Structure formats: structure tokens, C-alpha cells
Structure 1
């Protein structure tokens, strides 16, 4: 799939490195087939020593060297990056973007290239446990789809959708999702400390409870409501706790939060400026 194909990363931050690490550790692409571009020489030297890849401080050089070009810069840097690689992609090359809130049309117009994959990964991709939703333009070939799938699969699970509108939905649910989980975990830990546990013990209890519950749910094949009912005895402690959560409108708050994230993703894709809190 990647025989005689180089993968070039424009932007070599946290997510870029996660993809590089996944490609190498899973033997998808050899280190000498990977190019990384970044404006910081110290960062490039760090990546070169750590993974044995090729590095450059010039985006155009990386774009010309790669047959698959991964845009992994910060979204706000797009306007600075695209002029530098415009005209350096060949017709048969693939552009794969993981820039949040950046629609395909803006990417394609910015670099004057038609074969574009847009992907929305999340932060657990850093340990190979991510969830990435992606889509592609009609010009992307079957071979290129396979290449995109392999690259994104190195981050964890991947899911192809045939409508770009799903990317905004994925941004609100799985892309932003880890923050919701972390906040819930933080609340549980704080509650444990309030009960009298040390923070270290409270963290241990919460981390393993979350880890075990997630794995159990994934392996059980049962609806999560059924799993919840299994541990909710009539008049018991779980029932008392869930009553307070329902009374406080937990489901409604979560639903509204995700809808707000979705609306913001749509707004950013339309080029609206970020506004301060109301």
C-alpha cells in the first residue's frame, strides 16, 4: 500500500507525532518514508532522533517529497501554511487533513488540490486508543482511501462517512467527548475527596471504575441502559444516586452541551470568529 510512497507531515505537534509513532510501531510505513516539517529546529531534531524519520523546516520540501501529505498544524495557522505548499502537490497525491473546523472546500481551494480527506480524531489517539471519523472527496481513489484508512487506523478506531456534515457531529460527540469524560471523572474524584478519601485513592478508584465500566460495556454487547439497570437495585444506593442525577437534569445538560459544541463546529466551518462568553 505504501510501497515507494512517502508520507509527509506538515506540522509535527502532538497529533502529528502520534500518527508518526503509530505508523512506525505498527510497521505500516518505514521511518525513512516519513518526512516531518516544523518551524522549530529543536522539535525536528527531537523527532529525527526518536523515530529515525526525515525532517525539514520547509513545508514545500516536505510536500514535494510526499505522496500522502498530512496537514496536522493548528487550524488557526492554515492561512499561513497553504500558500507555502500550494502548487507543490501532484495530481496523484493525497492531502489528509486533521484540522478541526476546516471544511474540505477551504482546504481544496487553499492548496489547489482535489484529492482531499478530512478527518476528526480525538486526543486518546496519542496512545493508539482514538476514535477518528473521516470523509473524502470524489477524486480520492480507492488506493488513497486505503492509505487514509491505514494512517488513521494507526490512531485507534476509524469510521468513514459519506457526508462531510457528519464531521461536525463527530466533533461535538467524539472529538470533544474526552473533555466531557474528564470533567465527569474530575467530579467523581472531588466527591471522593469530600467523602474522606485521599485524592490519590479517589483517583485510583475512579480511574479503574471508568476503565472497567468502559471495557465491560464494549464487551457485553448489551445496551448501556440494561447495564445500568443491572446495578440499580430498588431502594438501593445506586437508585438514590441516579435519582439525584435525573433530578438535576444531567441528561438534559449533556444533550445541550453537545448540541452547543455541534453548533460551534458549524460556525467555525463557516468562518465565523470565536466570540467570548455571553
Structure 2
């Protein structure tokens, strides 16, 4: 679907590079059909050297030349970029935004009413092709463009399309912010291991391999996570004692509150983007 399609990335940071690498690794298109735009010429040169793509410091040059325009800038920079691109995107082009918190209506208004827009919420494991992206699209996005968007986003890992844009705020709170929750839990476990007497290196090795193995079991097993937890919890044993303390401390409640707070913040940022 992408072989004859020119893709421009407005913003040439980490996530843009992850998408470029994924698209090329999967041979979805050739490097001469990819253009990255960013304010730093040295960054562009580095991407050209690494992947053989074209680079420029002109957002307008990149946008005018493409059938798919990926908005991969930071959310706080996006309003300025949209004003710059206003009226300069081809009518039939697909605009794909991975900028967190900015709603489709704000993007459309910012670029002069353009209607074919995809909004996506990837997460940071996408840098390794291990991410998951929740995305949605306007009715004006054609079936071919939807398939193209899914391929581009699929270069980052798994994808889930949702009809209602409201799910993007939920995804921001759960999967978009999710890696931070996991890293915090990993950090806490490592610190607990050091407190017990392990060196930090050994504690880190024990925790990371335990996390990796547990995720593999959860992925491959058809059992509910509660069943898997019960399978390693002997009555009156060490695991039961540890879990009792976690439940007593309100682990489930605080996780739920944290995710809901992130959801509320995402909604607020979306509302602000439309003002």
C-alpha cells in the first residue's frame, strides 16, 4: 500500500526515527520516498546518513511534496507548526498526528480545514518496535489511506483502531503513560532488592528477568492474570504475605486513581487544544 507513496515527517525526533526505521525494516517503501523535516540540519544529516532518506529544515517543503504528512512534533510546538502548514497540504493528502493531547478538530482548524486526518497515540516501546498504538480517523480518510496509516503505525508495534476519538484520551492514560508506571514498579522492586542486601546490579538482573518472564507467561497463557497469580501463591506462604501487604497498602486503588488522573489530564489538554 505504501510502495508508491511519499511520506513526510514534520518533526525528526525519536518517534519519527522509530517510524522511519520500522517502515524501512519492513520494506513498506523505499528510503527515497521518505522526507524528514526538523529545525536542526545536523539531525537531518544524521538521519540521511543512517537511513538514506531525504531531509530538510523546511516544513513547507516537506508537506508540499507528500501524500502522507506525519505530524511528529512535540504537542507544545504543534500549534506553531499547524499555522505554518495552513493551506500548504495537498487536498488529497493524509495527515497523521502522533502529538499527544491535540484533537482532530484542532488539527483540522489549524491547517485550514483539511479533513483527511488520523490521530494516533503510540507509546515509548515503539522505539524498539514493541509499542502499541491506539488510533482513529475521520470519515474523510479513505479505505486505502486507513490501510496505509495502519501500516505506518504498525511499524511501531501493534495497533488498535477505535471509531470514537474519546478512546484516545483513555489510551493516553493507560498505554501512553503506562511505561512510566511499569518503570516505577521496576525501580521500586530493584530498590527493595538492594534494601534486602543484593547489589544493585544483581537486583536489577533479578527484577528485569522476572518481569520479562512473567510478561511472556501472561501473553502465552489463556488464563486470567488472577489465576496466574493464585498459581504462585501458596496458602500461608511468602507470596501470600507479600500480596497481603500490597493489598493492605491500596495498590489497586492507587493504580486506578493514577490512571484516572492521567485520563482527566489528557481530556483537559484536548479541550485546551480546541480553544
Quick one: distance in 2 between partners of 1:261 and 1:192?
29
Tell me the alpha carbon deviations over residues 214-245 of structure 1, each in whole angstroms, 9 at most, x when there is no partner: 01100001110000000001001100000000
Quick one: distance in 1 between partners of 2:58 and 2:80?
13
Match of 1:173 in 2: 174
Unaligned runs of 5+ in 2: none
Q: TM-score, normalised by structure 2?
A: 0.98
Quick one: distance in 2 between partners of 1:207 and 1:82?
41
Quick one: distance in 1 between partners of 2:229 and 2:163?
33
Match of 1:262 in 2: 263
Establish whether residue 158 from structure 1 lines up as the match of residue 165 from structure 2. Answer: no
Q: Secondary structure at the match of 1:270?
A: helix
5 Å-filtered alignment, 1:1-278, equals 1-112=1-112, 113-271=114-272
Quick one: distance in 2 between partners of 1:86 and 1:4?
25
Contact 2:7-2:69 within 8 A present in 1 as well: yes
Contact 2:7-2:33 within 8 A present in 1 as well: yes
Tell me the alpha carbon deviations over residues 226-266 of structure 1, each in whole angstroms, 9 at most, x when there is no partner: 00000001001100000000000000000000000000000
**RMSD of aligned Cα (Å):** 0.8
Give the number of aligned pairs. Answer: 272
Unaligned runs of 5+ in 1: 273-278
Quick one: distance in 2 between partners of 1:206 and 1:157?
25
Tell me the alpha carbon deviations over residues 197-220 of structure 1, each in whole angstroms, 9 at most, x when there is no partner: 000000000101001100110000
Quick one: distance in 2 between partners of 1:61 and 1:131?
30
Quick one: distance in 1 between partners of 2:218 and 2:18?
27
Quick one: distance in 1 between partners of 2:90 and 2:261?
39
Moved over 2 A (4+): none
